A and B are shown apart, each in its own frame.
Chain A
Amino acid sequence: MALASDSDILEQAEAWHRAGRGVAIATVVETWGSAPRPVGSHLVIDEEGHFLGSVSGGCVEGAVVSEAIDVIGSGAPRLLEFGVADETAWQVGLSCGGKIAVYVEKVVS
């Protein structure tokens, strides 16, 4: 299977939403230092934790997915930061020395 591009990912988000699933879109909005995925990269997540795309090299996706499930529940967007200065982030393993900000928002009708 070919790797999903950011365009495929947004199409998937639309398809999931049409199918009646709760969907959130996570977007890398800022990066500092070495970051594995560029600004604008997307991860889409559904209410059951299925996801497509990436916001890092796999380091923080787990944390973003669980935050996204909360966002789907509450409807309120969140701005998340991950980096070496942050103890939690270190735990989730952004060991590459970079720092990223990820905006997570629910798709609403």
Chain B
Amino acid sequence: MKAAFLQGMNTERAARRACVLVTDLAHGAQRLVLADAIAADPLHVEIETALRMGKSGMIEHDTGRFFLTVQAPPLRIVVVGAVHVSQALASMAHLLGHRVIVVDPRTAFASKDRFPDADLLAQWPDEALPVVGIDRYTAFVALTHDPKIDDPGLLAALKSDCFYIGALGSRKTHAKRLERLGAAGVSADRLARIHAPIGLDIGAVSPAEIALSILAEITAAQRKKPEGSAGL
């Protein structure tokens, strides 16, 4: 392996960017494919699948057998609202191996006692989110029910290329939300990215069940082949 490829993999990982090292095991030839060069690579279909699954592996192609060393950044879930559902979500996401960042300006809610498994930012979303940096490997969830807090978070997420956006609230609440965000200048295409009512429809009632349905929906967005623009 060229030292430059090794260094490249370490740099990309630190910057939370995906990359894949392609090795022709029969001949030793190698190339490092960076995130923005994947689409143009002859193995782009295989590389995209491997990245979505986050798995290194051997692939068969017309041009030979190759090993893909996959580096996909670890998923993060940014949650606006340090509420009851978020507590359950933080514990379950911890089990799934995802880092959770909870943003809520209300310090009584955003306390370490309530969120032992999450990183807490007791700030308004419009202050916190630019620092957190919502990227392609981030899921964004708005759970406060309070437009004052949820809307600035949603506006930031809608500008990003994060792989999932969800917002808590009934269809009626969501219709009002769409009106507000539309009035703030967000196009209908972009607004369609919001999963609302949030979570898979499993008839969830308790906060833990709602958290489960949200995480199931996030997992589907992560792992399933994207149908449209959603998905990794």
A10 within 8 Å of B (CB atoms): yes
How far apart are B157's CB and chain A's nearest CB, in angstroms?
Answer: 27
Measured CA separation A76–B6 after assembly (Å)? 17
Cβ–Cβ < 8 Å partners of B13 in chain A: 7, 10
Q: Are A27 and B7 in contact (CB under 8 A)?
A: no
CB neighbours (8 Å) of B23 from chain A are 103, 105
Q: Chain A residues with Cβ under 8 A from B70's Cβ?
A: 40
Question: Considering the chains assembled together, what is the distance between the CA atoms of A13 and B57 in angstroms?
Answer: 21
A108: interface (CB < 8 Å): yes
Contacts between the two chains (Cβ within 8 Å), count: 51
How extensive is the interface on chain B, given as a class?
Answer: 10 to 19
B6 contacts A39, C-beta separation under 8 Å: no
A63 CB to nearest chain B CB (Å): 19
> Quick check: B1 and A14 within 8 Å, CB to CB?
no
B1-12 Cβ-contact flags toward A at 8 Å (1 or 0): 111001101100
| B11–chain A nearest beta-carbon distance, Å | 10
A30 to B1, CA, bound (A): 18
B contact face: mostly helix, strand, loop, or mixed: mixed
Q: Is B130 an interface residue (CB 8 A)?
A: no
Q: Are A10 and B57 in contact (CB under 8 A)?
A: no
Contact of A10 with B55 at beta-carbon distance under 8 Å, contacts A77-B28, A103-B67 already known: no
The 8 A CB mask of A75-88 against B (1 = contact, 0 = none) is 01101000000000
Cβ contact within 8 Å between B25 and A29 = yes
B residues in contact with A29, CB < 8 Å: 25, 58, 67
Query: CB-CB contacts of A19-40 with B at 8 A, as 1s and 0s?
Result: 0000001010110000000011
- Residues on A with C-beta less than 8 A from B10 are 7, 10-11, 14
Inter-chain contacts of A109 with B (CB < 8 A):
2-3
CB closest chain-A residue, reference B21? A27
Residue on A with the closest CB to B57? A39
**B-contacting residues of A (Cβ < 8 Å)?**
7, 10-11, 13-14, 17, 25, 27, 29-30, 39-40, 76-77, 79, 103, 105-109
A–B Cβ pairs within 8 angstroms, 16 of them: A7-B13, A10-B10, A13-B6, A14-B6, A17-B6, A25-B1, A27-B67, A39-B56, A39-B58, A40-B69, A77-B28, A79-B25, A103-B23, A103-B25, A105-B23, A106-B1
